[in-house]
Structure 1
């Protein structure tokens, strides 16, 4: 007979505490990513409601407006996808982020649009990195390798570049890692429940549609590319997987079409949609020089800081840096490591990089005329409006995947000194992607008049502001922030939006009115070329009831006040820190 187990009596006066449980590894990864994100964005932490993340203010103010508009519209029974502006805005043709508008609404409603935007910018890379670590599960066993991949993906050159430009919709790069996991479920492992899996994918695509349509289009394109690459590599499995994929695809399309029927109608036939090409197809492309030349947002640089200014687009779109060390490491791994997933990821990454170059190769902002595969898509409806430069997110994902698979294998290298050399070489390559402490933070205060708008304006007022809303990247959208800060109490006659009107097939901002033309002229001390009657008529045509002049440095405010008084017939009055004129 076995002896009964000994029972250890508790020490008198003490209570035995249960052993502490270690948090799940994915939680620790998330906390690490959050700490990195907060560290990189430390400049806003002391002024969270009066400064915005990024080196410019245009897009941060735009996103703050949309984060306010979505919950406001829902709570007031308005259509969140078509704005209440006098001219109207088709939200599905703009960077609306309604999904984030709902998720961040507690912050927006309690702390305001600036705080909500900053929270979104800090959490976007964190959630994206966590998704990356989780998606690597089928291929990578060690959490150390998955953590490195998560950090590389969340804070690599692509994410750093778009964070500097305030692109809230892009730093939430969650879809690519989720699709990486779905590649395993649908193409590699196969699924016993294709209809349910396809329906879930349809819901996932619907969520991305309400985050950023361009990412959805580009990721679906790369999902097709990945399927082709796998079919070429494993032709014998195509017949086995095809029936399940067809069923899953049908369920995906069906669920997506039902859930997104109205937003799809807005995109294809809705009001105020652009009636012509929005942008030059050669602008939003990867400059080939950027593949090996970093911007000042990367810590390790062997080129002069100003060299980035010679590359195509702005620094916010110059996230295609791979660098000689990463390129060499990936090539060596593809040749020497016997890993089919690693090689397939490298192949998909190469395709995404080539497609991101756009319709022709551009080097240091010079078009070479050398045609590239993306030229095929420039004539495809809707997809031709996408900026191929943003396929860099897939390239970054593939680099992170390759690194994770390799780091997971390093401890198994049989030659001990080889383990050390491999670790050092890999660490050096990864550190070449280390971001510099260069994230900007811009002042984003609001005149007191708008903070207390309910005291001075009536519900339903249409307010023309001086300065006007423009698409100028730095400062142009400030009046939109002021309106958001005023909790959408009033309307504005224009904005920094993509749309159209009967006279303009494409608009990025409202056309300059006769009144605003006069403001520009008198504010700069130039002769007037606009009659006051025409300026007054332009205000009435937009339904303006109040003009608010915000004094600015470098503008003759007295002249602008005199002009506004003449146009409105109201001498105006100083209200807190602005001048108000009621028509």
Structure 2
């Protein structure tokens, strides 16, 4: 390993003898198009990879989704809802959808849904609204799935270009964009897979501190030059003479950073909270390993820029924060602690979506976990390569500060991702972990520790990118070629395989005759009703409402809220008919007597509550009971359907 250091030190000394700074990268000369061209080619390549991984949905974007759960229905619903609300505001909608952040379009009998506490993705829904109007929310959802790995890679590349040459920065950034975390979360959780904010946050911190980068000349691109005690008087005078310029830069970065954080509030507050924790770890590591490069002026710039960004972000988030204090907000911790913990073996045991995986993780869990959460896998070769790089370049090379900062940040964040207790092979080896401190903090205690591996993954690929940067610069050396070979093996082990799509069941009625049968603003009870089940098709009633253009309000719904009997609920409370049918839905029991007094009372309760229609989809995949059983039950309990075609039976109650 000392040979790596020696080779790099020699290269470093040679660079200095030629008057070049150690961390000055690709020249920024040339026309804007010339500077942009590599990024355009990188984007094209990323797009081709995304089409390969998600080719199944690219071929049929309006008919299928990639997911083992049915959280996809929830996000299709919110994308459609945001587009419809915007259409209402612009004057060409039907005007019955309600607000962006609080709506009674679902849970109509239970007081609606507080979208500020849910995965409403308002920011993305508004951006995709034109496509949703033209092609529908399922197409918008699948375009988002195809786009997220590309956007993530580009954002990480912006960060990595502050301390890496272009080629290694692009390769390492692509590794993050198509990492196990991102691809796994895209199996139903696009709000969590959208990871643009974390790397851009780190890039903003480095820019405010004046570390890394290749855009302003040598004085501001040093990552391992001694600043502080060794800073020359001329540098101090240079700083004093450019206070105004730097102030403008602080304002520019602060405002841009604030808008980014403000947008993230409307995509995923959990990713935002996780980014806050990762940023704290990053700052601690900067203070520990970059103290010679940072002056009081650097920290003041960071503080000033952060204050500006925080003010802008809070101003943008004010409507969401106000809504969070409103009705139907959950009154307790959203998920139980100790369940969504990263096992110490998760990084080395393949789980979906890696092509080496059998599809599921072999590790035992406290309870069944959605495969979309199993994204910690990076592979043993990648971890081995990181260790080799740290040992070989972490002491005397020009990369040492960047390496130490990235590695220490990754280890700190991963220690939090382990959760509390700490598990090894499914067994508890420590009853409490560092994450126990987070669980004691209000709001932050809603973070699921498994999802923090996003940030440790970024740090790991920063280390791998530094190793690739060195190896590519010294590729004539045998040890450099061996390192490149190890990095190639690491990439092969973690590369995702093509993702399998499944059908989305949408009766023709919801795109054809719904507007003629159901007046705008009607309240509808759909059977089967949407339920918070982690299996395909469980919540497709929400998709039907979304593709209909939200012509009606739905009594059911899958969401996070609160109820009269529970501080946290995940679906609309049962009405009288649901309670009567409960045993048939959950226990496989026979349907009740449609002519019984209990059935008559349940139907009467729905009428009294203002329900206008019951819509039955008799061929729905998860409808319980035998063939035609539910239709026969409703025929006898309510009367003949008003409409019976295009895959649905519509029963009118408001008579």
The TM-score, its normalising length taken from structure 2, stands at 0.80
Query: What SS does structure 2 have at the residue aligned with 1:501?
Result: coil
CA distance, structure 2, for counterparts of residue 489 and residue 414 of structure 1: 63
1:522–1:560 CA contact under 8 A, matched in 2? no
2:192 maps to 1:180: no
Query: What SS does structure 2 have at the residue aligned with 1:446?
Result: coil
Give the superposition deviation at 1:100.
1.1
Aligned equivalent of 2:364: 310
Match of 2:100 among 80, 88, 97: 80
CA distance, structure 2, for counterparts of residue 297 and residue 388 of structure 1: 19
1:493–1:542 CA contact under 8 A, matched in 2? no
Aligned equivalent of 1:536: 603
Say which is worse superposed, 319-328 or 560-569, in terms of deviation: 560-569
Query: What SS does structure 2 have at the residue aligned with 1:349?
Result: helix
**CA-to-aligned-CA distance 1:511-560 (integer Å, 9 cap, x gap):** 22221243455675526398113312442354311001111366335432
Match of 1:136 among 160, 170, 183: 160
Give the superposition deviation at 1:305.
5.9
Say which is worse superposed, 186-195 or 317-326, in terms of deviation: 186-195
Query: What SS does structure 2 have at the residue aligned with 1:491?
Result: strand
CA distance, structure 1, for counterparts of residue 52 and residue 641 of structure 2: 50
1:513-552 correspondence to structure 2 within 5 Å: 513-521=575-583, 524=588, 526=590, 528=592, 531-540=598-607, 542-552=609-619
Give the superposition deviation at 1:265.
1.8
Aligned equivalent of 2:500: 440
Give the superposition deviation at 1:181.
1.2
**CA-to-aligned-CA distance 1:377-420 (integer Å, 9 cap, x gap):** 11211100111211111111112211222211213338622232
CA distance, structure 1, for counterparts of residue 457 and residue 608 of structure 2: 49
**CA-to-aligned-CA distance 1:99-123 (integer Å, 9 cap, x gap):** 1111111211111111110000000
- Root-mean-square deviation over aligned CA pairs: 2.3
**CA-to-aligned-CA distance 1:24-83 (integer Å, 9 cap, x gap):** 111111111100000111112332211112233x11111111111012112214421111
Give the superposition deviation at 1:188.
4.0
1:232-247 correspondence to structure 2 within 5 Å: 232-235=288-291, 237=294, 239-247=296-304
Match of 2:185 among 136, 145, 162: 162
1:469–1:476 CA contact under 8 A, matched in 2? yes
Query: What SS does structure 2 have at the residue aligned with 1:186?
Result: helix
Aligned equivalent of 2:646: 576
2:83–2:130 CA contact under 8 A, matched in 1? no
CA distance, structure 1, for counterparts of residue 491 and residue 205 of structure 2: 26
1:135–1:180 CA contact under 8 A, matched in 2? yes
Stretches of structure 2 lacking an aligned partner (at least 5 in a row)? 1-32, 90-97, 212-219, 221-245
1:418-429 correspondence to structure 2 within 5 Å: 418-429=479-490
1:173-252 correspondence to structure 2 within 5 Å: 173-189=195-211, 192-193=247-248, 194-235=250-291, 237=294, 239-252=296-309
1:94-113 correspondence to structure 2 within 5 Å: 94-113=118-137
Give the superposition deviation at 1:571.
5.5
Query: What SS does structure 1 have at the residue aligned with 2:553?
Result: coil
2:353–2:359 CA contact under 8 A, matched in 1? no
CA distance, structure 1, for counterparts of residue 73 and residue 267 of structure 2: 17
1:287–1:363 CA contact under 8 A, matched in 2? yes
2:341–2:419 CA contact under 8 A, matched in 1? yes
2:270–2:447 CA contact under 8 A, matched in 1? yes
For the structure 1 residues 487 and 573, does the alpha-carbon distance in structure 2 shift closer, same or farther, using more than 3 Å as the test?
Answer: closer
For the structure 1 residues 381 and 464, does the alpha-carbon distance in structure 2 shift closer, same or farther, using more than 3 Å as the test?
Answer: same
1:521–1:528 CA contact under 8 A, matched in 2? no
CA distance, structure 1, for counterparts of residue 646 and residue 637 of structure 2: 22
2:319 maps to 1:262: yes
Say which is worse superposed, 221-230 or 373-382, in terms of deviation: 221-230
CA distance, structure 2, for counterparts of residue 398 and residue 445 of structure 1: 40
The TM-score, its normalising length taken from structure 1, stands at 0.90
